[in-house]
Amino acid sequence: MSSTLVFVYGTLKRGLSNHRWLRGQTFVGEARTVAGYRMFDLGGYPGMVLAEGEDGGAIEGEVWAVDAEGLRGLDKLEGVAEGEYAFETVRLEGKWGEEVKGYLYLRSVKGCPEVKGSWAE
């Protein structure tokens, strides 16, 4: 069975509130995006967006190998069908290349506080 490498940066990380959604999946390693992303507190969970211009930084997270069933669950959690997040390629530092995907927030972050670096609950 094939799997997809997924970068998680918020409540899905080990030890946090939604980590159970990754039960049965394989932890691959810790990772960090290249500069060019921003993360916002959306009220108990984060949203990562592509930065405009020179405003972006690097976001810390984890890479998981997720099977098709796991991806269906994550898409549901992240509201992909409702247009809350999009599952897209995420550029990471180091060895990862273009193989890793992640959930980018699609709605307005106006008025939401920015979180630098790493999400913690």
Q: Which sequence positions are flagged as catalytic?
A: 78
C-alpha separations of 60 from 29, 69, 79, 110, 116 in Å: 11, 25, 22, 22, 9
CB atoms within 10 A of CB 34: 15
